[in-house]
Amino acid sequence: MNTTYALLALHLTGVIGPRRLKSARDAFPDISDIFGATEEQLSRLPDWTAPCAQKVQSLKDPFRRVEQELEKAEAQGITALVEGNPEFPKAFEHLYDPPFVLWRIGNYLPEDENAIAVIGCRKPSAYGKQAALRLSEDIVKAGYTVVSGLARGIDSLAHQGALNYPKGRTIAFLGSGLLNLYPPENKKLAREIIERGAIFSEYPLMSKPLALHFPQRNRLISGASKGVLVVEAKKDSGSFITVDHAIDQGKPVFAVPGPITHTESEGAHALIQQGAKLVMGVEDIFHELQDRRAETVFKARKTGTGNPVSRESLTEEENKILEKLTYSPVHVDILTRETQMVLRRLNELLLTLEMKGLIQQAPGHSYFKI
């Protein structure tokens, strides 16, 4: 068995991670020799347990198991990448505990190495949703890629914000197998990501989304990025795991300030107090990264391909509505009162402004500027 197949066979046991693999390599320079070892020999390896040793030692035909998994992957357009493969993301070479196998669907390009991770809570406020969408779109306008975890909430919005820009790219890392997508309601979004990016997992294809997978997954989100941006997060948010990984990896951490009345902003505010870079726009990110090229590209694209609708081209009624709107949602009842418009006419104009890309509807029949 060659090294690639040996590594895949160990990976498919589901019990061998980076640390156990390191122990195995120290004992077996030719890793394929591990399949001839006794259970007692394996049990004595650092970080190995008796059940782990039994799992590996009991493999009857590891070669055939690998063949079956590769056939399944190929049928779904999935590629298995083993460390050393030229397509293996270079960003992971310097991790303390790098993955040794990655499953990928879609395309990961060299330019995706310039990436920003955008993460946050599962139940963002309307303000958080707006911030995630806008900042993610602005990040890709500057030529960067948005990285996140395809989770509910800010993660999904980060991917969607990147895809909102015609040339935007985005990369997702899962805490489950690629053939067991989690959360399942993101299947459509996953298909869109595959078209303009890639989805990765370091877990076998049908792996369940176990709780212990996600902290491990988060080190890849930060590892694949130049920095980590926290949009909204509570004080006990899982986002802090990604932040800790980023700090360990020497990556800068960014945070979006929010209303002091929102519990969803408490985590971001705490990070800012601890030294995270406060972000009011993507210029703050690129300034911290000392990437003048990205700043220049973003400003040029913002001017040249930004919102083409000027205030001068709007009707008096449309401008009147925009004057009453803010970047936080305003309920239609308030707009009716402040504009003194008939509700039917107001709804017509709101739809027009939304189609022009100037406003967006929030839950509860509210609207905000974008």
Question: Looking at residue 118, which CATH number applies to its domain?
Answer: 3.40.50.450
Give the residue from 66, 23, 4, 14 showing the smallest Cα distance to 37. 23
* Count of domains for the chain: 3
175 plus 315 within the same structural domain: no
Looking at the structure, do residues 131 and 189 belong to the same domain, yes or no?
yes
Q: What is the pLDDT of residues 332-367, one digit of tens each?
A: 999 999 999 999 999 999 988 887 778 888 777 888
Q: Are strands 197-201 and 170-173 parallel, antiparallel or unpaired?
A: parallel
Residue 34 carries which DSSP code? G
Residue 89 lies in a domain: no
Same domain, 259 and 331: no
Residue 79: inside a domain: no
Domain boundary residue, one of 251, 283, 304? 304
DSSP letters, 137-174, are: HHHHHTT-EEEE---TTHHHHHHHHHHHSTT--EEEE-
Q: pTM of the entire structure?
A: 0.81
**Same domain flag for 297 and 324:** no
Q: Tell me which residue range forms the domain holding 160.
A: 110-304
pLDDT digits (tens, 9 = 90+) for 221-269: 999 999 999 999 998 888 999 999 999 999 999 999 998 888 999 999 9
In a domain, 28, yes or no: yes
Is 223 found in the same domain as 357? no
Same domain for 224 and 333? no
Residue 299 sits in the same domain as residue 319: no
pLDDT one-digit tens code per residue, 296-334: 888 877 765 444 556 667 899 999 999 998 867 889 999
344 and 320 within one domain: yes
- Domain shared by 132 and 265, yes or no: yes
